[in-house]
Amino acid sequence: MRFVPSKEMKIILLPEQEEQLCTKETIREVFAKDDKGECMAFDIYDGEDMVGFSMFCEYPKGSFFLWNYGIDAKYQNQGIGTRALKELLAYMVSNYEVKEFTTTYLWGNKYAKRLYEKVGFIETDVIDEEDCHEVNMLYRVE
């Protein structure tokens, strides 16, 4: 896998997945306002094929929030998402001295839950408020 710096999401998601990630417009807005360079994104390549997208924000120092992670619809259900995420986390640790990662997924998204647990994230808590139903997860680097 290769991780190429990016500032926009170019992959195509299944319609039911679009609400799980930020919109392409929101991602562009984040980078337009990120004058401190706290966020970074990568197009994920398997060979010559762009198969996914990831976006991180550093919070706090030495810790990164995995804000968006998606695999293009035509590459799903082939094990690429799990392999790419494992390699992506290792890449981040090696290049950015990350001590831990956090992420969230929308309550009920069994696919995200299974993916994150497969690579070593653990559930820390659930936010269940009127307009927010998310599960927080943590991955500590050993």
Domain that holds residue 91: 2-140
Beta pairing partners, 139: 101
Q: What is the pLDDT of residues 83-113, one digit of tens each?
A: 999 999 999 999 988 999 999 998 888 889 9
H or E stretch at 101 = strand 100-106
What pLDDT, on a 0 to 100 scale, did the predictor assign at position 38?
85
What CATH code is carried by the domain that includes residue 26?
3.40.630.30
Q: What is the pLDDT of residues 22-76, one digit of tens each?
A: 888 999 999 989 888 889 999 999 999 999 999 999 987 789 999 999 999 999 9
Backbone angles phi, psi at 116, to 5 degrees: -65, -40
CA pseudo-torsion sign 83, 136, 102, 67: positive
What pLDDT, on a 0 to 100 scale, did the predictor assign at position 42?
97
What pLDDT, on a 0 to 100 scale, did the predictor assign at position 114?
94
Q: What is the pLDDT of residues 107-141, one digit of tens each?
A: 888 889 999 999 999 999 887 777 767 899 999 99
Q: Please say whether the beta carbons of 83 and 1 come within 8 A.
A: yes
Q: How many domains does the chain have?
A: 1
